[in-house]
Every structure is written in structure tokens, then in C-alpha cells.
Amino acid sequence: MVFPASGVEVSPLIPLAVSFVVSFFTSMGGISGAFLLLPFQMSVLGFTSPAVSSTNLVFNIVAIPSGVYRYIREGRMAWPLAWITVLGTLPGVLIGAIIRIKYLPDPEHFKVFMGCVLLYMALRLLFDLRASTGKEKAKTEETERSFRERSIRLRRAIAAGETIKPVVMTRRFSLTEYAYEFYGERFSFNTMTLFSLAFAVGIVGGVYGVGGGAIIAPFLVSFFHLPVYTIAGATLLGTFLTSIAGALFYASIAPHYTTSGLMIAPDWTLGAIFGAGGFLGMYCGARLQKYFPARWIKLVIALTLLYLAMSYLLILLR
């Protein structure tokens, strides 16, 4: 099948299957999977124009709702965290889209730029996986162990007809602090610090075409020491909303570049097929996340980021 908007020729089953597998694992860490699908599109499908970034955003729009639904249904949506992420990343994503088109249309330059960012993220997560040190990390890991143990009891309670479920409970939300409780443990951070971080990663996410969630999730885990079980839903929701704005922005400015021959508008059909596979993968990943140790979720994400970063940076040695 040929996709006229992008010029890609591939069986629809391939992007469907690839996006399902990728999204199944990445959604467990609050990542949509778009950050891995972009190199697949560029290196395997030969889709290298700036339109690949906007097409990635279409994937997010179609795929993410299923994962968000699961997290909301299980009471694991930290709503204030989601809104802070959205308000911070949204303007950044739009700025990032302009930078992608104007300064990084060349695929080689684009890969090197992202390789540097992803390498830092991977190393920071791997460092975080070292032996536990510090009160905050110990508290986080204890909460994660408690979550796994109580998930077993939860399944038994549901089987017995009870409606008890784990819930993220907001204890304080202001311009200076957001605090929430999860399984008896309290977690808090400075609201404006996260907002500023979200704006910065939103720019990078707009350049790459991931909406920011793929980048901010590791920061929430490694810098803010928040349990991965409580941030996944919020980062996915933030990515979903900013991806809608980003895709529409790319499409709206595309007519201004028709004379230059630069492809900017998303390939809606290809993005939707990727999104359909991601929709199923994210639903399954979000549903099964509680059965996987958070340490292994972090490790898979970190190693994937490291592999992707090194494949980008090897371009410098050519």
C-alpha cells in the first residue's frame, strides 16, 4: 500500500504490529511509544521530511486514549500533575515545531540533536537504578513494593465483588507546591519547577514529534523521585492534549511551505494506522503495568533510550 501524503509504501499490517509491540512496553512508563516509532519511520520506511514529526503526533492522538482510560478507571490519574504538564509543554511544543521546520529539516542534523538529548535521559535513568540511596528514593521504592503487594489483594477483593481500588489522592495543590498521597506515602514537589521543566521539554518534544511526555516521564522518576505507577497516566494525558495542538499547528502552517517542496503536514492515514496498533498496545500495557516491577520498567525504557541515542550519535563518526 502506498501512502500518498508521505510517499511511504508498506503493508498496513507492519506499522500496526510495530506500534502495538512498542506501545505495550513504553506505556507502562508513561511514554506513548512515539519516540521509538519515529526512527522506525525514518530508517525503515524512509520517511525523513519534517512531516514525520507531525505524523508521530497523529499516532499519539489515536493511540493514547486507551491507556489514559485504564489509568483513570484504576484511580491512578494525578490530575494536577497532568494539567501542569499540559500548560507547560503546550507552548513549548508549538515553538519546537517551528524550530524543527526552520532549523532542523536535515535528517542528519536532526538525529544528532535528539541523540544528545536521549543519551542524557538514558544515563540519568540508569544512574537512578543504582543501589538505593537517600530517604526519597527509599520511600519511592517502598511505595512501589507496597503497590505490587496490594495489587494482589485488590484483584482478590474485586473477584469477591468489592470496588476498592488504588487511588492517587491530592493533598495540596498551589502555585508553589503539589502534594499527593499514594498508598499511605506522601510525595510533593515545587509546581513552578515542574512547569518550567515542562516548557523546556515541550520544545524538544515539539521538534521530535512526541508531545513532551516521552521526555518528561524519566525526569519525574529520576529528579522528582515519583513512583512510575502514579505518573504514567498524567504524562500520557499531557502528551495526548499537546499532540492535538501540535498536529493541528503543523497542518495549519503547511500551505505556507508548498512552494518550497518541504513536506510538513502529517500523513493522517499512516499516523492513524500506527495509532490503531498503539491504541491496543497502550490499553494492554496500562492494564498489565501493575504486574511488572517498576525497576524493570525503568530499565527497559533506559536501555531503549540508550540504544536509540547511540544509533543517532554514530552519525558523527561517518
Confidence class of residue 145 from pLDDT cuts 50, 70 and 90?
Answer: low
* pLDDT at position 57 over 70: yes
In single-letter form, the type of residue at position 268 comes to W
- Report how far Cα 235 is from the mean position of its chain's Cα atoms: 6
* pLDDT at position 58 over 80: yes
* pLDDT at position 136 over 60: no
Lowest mean per-residue pLDDT among 6-20, 116-130, 192-206:
116-130
* pLDDT at position 297 over 60: yes
Spatial separation of the C-alpha atoms in residues 106 and 266, rounded to whole Å: 17
Q: What does the block give as the cell for 56?
A: 508521530
Spatial separation of the C-alpha atoms in residues 120 and 76, rounded to whole Å: 28
* pLDDT at position 190 over 90: yes
If you ran DSSP here, which 8-state letter would residue 6 be given? T
Radius of gyration of the chain (CA): 19
* pLDDT at position 71 over 90: no
If you ran DSSP here, which 8-state letter would residue 189 be given? E
Pair 67, 179: CB distance under 8 Å: no
* pLDDT at position 133 over 60: no
Q: What does the block give as the cell for 208?
A: 521530535
Confidence class of residue 162 from pLDDT cuts 50, 70 and 90?
Answer: low
Instruction: State percent of the chain over pLDDT 70.
Output: 85
Pair 209, 52: CB distance under 8 Å: yes
* pLDDT at position 28 over 80: no
241-293: pLDDT as tens digits: 999 999 999 999 999 888 877 889 999 999 999 999 999 988 888 778 767 77
Give, for 185, the enclosing helix (H) or strand (E).
strand 185-189
Q: What does the block give as the cell for 27?
A: 506505556
Number of Cβ within a 10 Å radius of residue 191: 20
* pLDDT at position 148 over 70: no
Mean pLDDT estimate for the chain: 83
pLDDT of residue 138: 62
Q: What does the block give as the cell for 147?
A: 503497590
* pLDDT at position 239 over 70: yes
Any bridge partners for residue 153, and if so which?
Answer: none
* pLDDT at position 179 over 90: yes
Confidence class of residue 151 from pLDDT cuts 50, 70 and 90?
Answer: low
Q: What does the block give as the cell for 90?
A: 503546550
Pair 30, 219: CB distance under 8 Å: no
Who wins on pLDDT, 189 or 317? Answer: 189
Pair 258, 44: CB distance under 8 Å: no
Q: What angle do CA 97, 101, 105 make, to 5 degrees?
A: 130
Spatial separation of the C-alpha atoms in residues 266 and 55, rounded to whole Å: 4
pLDDT of residue 80: 92
Who wins on pLDDT, 4 or 74? Answer: 4
Confidence class of residue 172 from pLDDT cuts 50, 70 and 90?
Answer: very high
Output the CA torsion sign for 13, 17, 23, 28.
Answer: positive
**First-to-final CA distance of the chain:** 33
Any bridge partners for residue 185, and if so which?
Answer: 182
Who wins on pLDDT, 56 or 295? Answer: 56
pTM: 0.81
pLDDT of residue 272: 95
Who wins on pLDDT, 208 or 191? Answer: 191
> Which SS3 state, helix, strand or coil, does residue 182 take?
strand
Instruction: State percent of the chain over pLDDT 90.
Output: 33
Domain boundaries, the chain: 10-130+191-317
